A and B are shown apart, each in its own frame.
Chain A
Amino acid sequence: MKKQIVSKHKSYKFSSENIKKDIMRNKELYLIMIPVIIFYFVFSYLPMYGIIIAFQDYTPAKGFMGSEFVGLKHFIDFMTGNSFLKLLRNTLRISCANIIFGFPMPIILALLINEVRNKRFKGIVQTCTYLPHFISIVVVAGMIKDFTVSTGLINDIIAFFGGERVTMLAETKYFTPIYVISGIWQEAGWNTIIYLAALTAIDKALYEAATIDGAGEMRKMWHITLPAILPTIVILLIMKIGSMLNVGYEKIILLYNASTRDVADVISTYVYRRGLQERSWSFSTAVGLFNSVINVTLLILSNKISKMINGSGLW
């Protein structure tokens, strides 16, 4: 045991002698890595450096270096402004709806698929349910728009059952359901993969033993299947809760309009609109930074919790 620790320590010792040896041995390896390092530097680390404009009054003419320093002005403006609470509320509402309705779907679907014994049928079900994952978000948004207009498919069905036709994307009350349901349509099937993997790892002997002991299907599911995938469920749920304030902007930008903005605007779409459309560079950078600091903090916290409960986390 002790020997192991010593040898592990030795291989990561950055003494000048070790460095020299390592560079001699792995010279080529480092050389081919240079483009990769440059890539991350230019497209990830330079933008991180650009965060300093959150503390400035940036103008393109003066650049990252020369713009006037204003401290926390933009953060204070944002948090005392009247959109702050609205954005936070919208972000949390969409996230919560996504977790409550979207999260259990792949679990249920995986449990059902796992019970199928016919390989062919199983394959067909998987192909059909994974497929929406590969359709571009622009097409999905286009289909949503077309199906939900007052003459669209969904309204035809509603009218058939005696309901009233409405242009759903123009109504605030429909926005969150549309967002969540289309998300379930696109990702529920695909997200079963990870659960199905956990399910196939269960020892078949457990089921046989339970059958001999007289356990029914429900009892087997409750006492064998669910405990087996519980760790996976817990990790994914904690991570999901950890990224609550991180609602994707792409679908919302494609779906929202002036009449639903009050409920649809989340922090990331606000950053997009204020920054790229209204060119308030520094203000929107500050809002983005505020959001990503909270995201990272929540992620680290949820990883800690996951490790405490499960003994394993993201890192």
Chain B
Amino acid sequence: MKIKESFLRKLFIVINTLLLSVISIVMLYPLVYVLFASLSNSVELMSYGGILWKPLGFNFEAYRSVSENPMIASGYINTLIIVGVSLLLNIVLTSIAAYFFSRKNVLFQKPIFFYVIFTMYFSGGMIPFFLTVKNLGLYDSRWAVILPTAISTYNMIVMKTSLESIPDSLEEAAKIDGANHMHILFRIVMPLSLPILSVMVLYYAVAHWNAWFNAMIFLQDRNKFPLQLILREILIQNNTDLMNQDANEMDAQAISESIKYAIIIVSTLPILCVYPFLQKYFVKGVMSGAVKG
């Protein structure tokens, strides 16, 4: 009986391991394909069909074209500006709000919390939001992309939950020593909350890096376009003429194929690079948010 049981257990482990390996490979393969294709010779890639096991005619041609493209460069810079300024605002405002809502004995805390939470469940909708931002004079300004996402209520609640676990005695001791709220927030609470702060930085940074919709509806000037909008033109709208003005048509199609893949890699690389190291922080963020729903 016992031998049979352990044999079944072993069989189960083998099947489970195989199954999970297959799932992982299938999940990862689209990205691997993109990577291989971006490193391939574009003419060979055009005539090849099926699954790529390795780059065809390994070269960095596509990456060279991407690096020389002015729109990609300007998109990258714009995205960096937007991510940088947004993060600064995000961290300051989110910390303040999370700190405020994690304090005890604040009379107006509940009504203000309701004022904030209400916006998670009901909003004016896309059109009134667009008109409001436009009426503020932010149309075609980078601020239209930065300001409306200054606080994510969900992230703020994640941080609030985390701040609530800091013992009150620290704050009380600081108060007896004459510290004010700014002092407590920036000298005591923030240094103690570095893990949750890094989760916040990551969540916000990824969200801003990947955002495109607000930029699409608010920005007119192509020189202000973030990377994702440029990507959209190249990948979705097939606007590859901005990639290769002087190549003849067949060549142009071949070149643009591997360039497309190179652009995907270049634009996703920052996230792919930091992700494996920071995965546990991301997961931690989900967990602390899940506690309170």
> Contact residues of A with B, CB < 8 Å?
11-12, 14, 18-19, 22, 25-26, 28-30, 32-33, 35-37, 39-40, 42-51, 53, 60, 63-64, 109, 112-113, 115-117, 121, 124-132, 134-139, 141-143, 145-147, 151, 153, 156-157, 159-160, 185, 189, 193-194, 197, 214, 216-217, 250, 253-254, 268, 271-272, 275-276, 281, 284-285, 288-289, 291-292, 296, 299, 312-315
Contacts and interface: CB of A to CB of B under 8 A. Distances in A.
A29 to B, nearest CB: 5
Contacts of B209: 136
Chain B, interface size category, equals 35 or more
B271 A116 contact: no
B127 A285 contact: yes
Contacts of B185: 32
Interface string B221-232: 000000010011
Given A32-B100, A142-B260, A128 B112 contact: no
A46 B235 contact: no
B290 interface: yes
13 contacts: A12-B110, A30-B108, A33-B96, A39-B150, A43-B132, A50-B128, A50-B131, A136-B210, A146-B235, A217-B8, A217-B12, A288-B125, A315-B117
A143 B37 CA distance: 12
Contacts of A143: 30, 34, 235, 264
B286 interface: yes
B88 interface: no
Nearest to B181: A28
B9 A33 contact: no
A172 to B, nearest CB: 19
Given A32-B100, A115-B16, 6 more contacts: A26-B105, A33-B96, A47-B125, A156-B51, A250-B212, A275-B127
Nearest to B289: A194
B192 to A, nearest CB: 18
A129 B119 contact: no
A138 B232 contact: yes
A134 B231 contact: no
A193 B287 CA distance: 8
A135 to B, nearest CB: 6
A129 B23 contact: yes
Q: Which 9 A-B pairs have the closest CB atoms?
A: A47-B124, A142-B235, A50-B128, A288-B125, A136-B210, A22-B107, A128-B24, A44-B119, A156-B49
A245 B153 CA distance: 22
A275 B124 CA distance: 14
B123 interface: yes
Given A29-B181, A116-B16, A292-B122, A138 B236 contact: yes
A296 B122 contact: yes
Interface string B131-143: 1110110000000
B213 interface: yes
B279 A121 contact: no
Contacts of A60: 131
A142 B236 contact: yes
B220 interface: no
B287 A197 contact: yes
A284 B126 CA distance: 9
B112 A33 contact: yes
Contact of B236 (A48, A145, A296): A145
Contact of A53 (B30, B107, B131, B293): B131
A132 B264 CA distance: 13
A141 B28 CA distance: 16
B17 interface: yes
B127 A288 contact: yes
B175 to A, nearest CB: 10
Contacts of A284: 126-127
B268 interface: yes
A302 to B, nearest CB: 12
A37 to B, nearest CB: 7
B151 A272 contact: no
Contact of B28 (A131, A159, A217, A315): A131
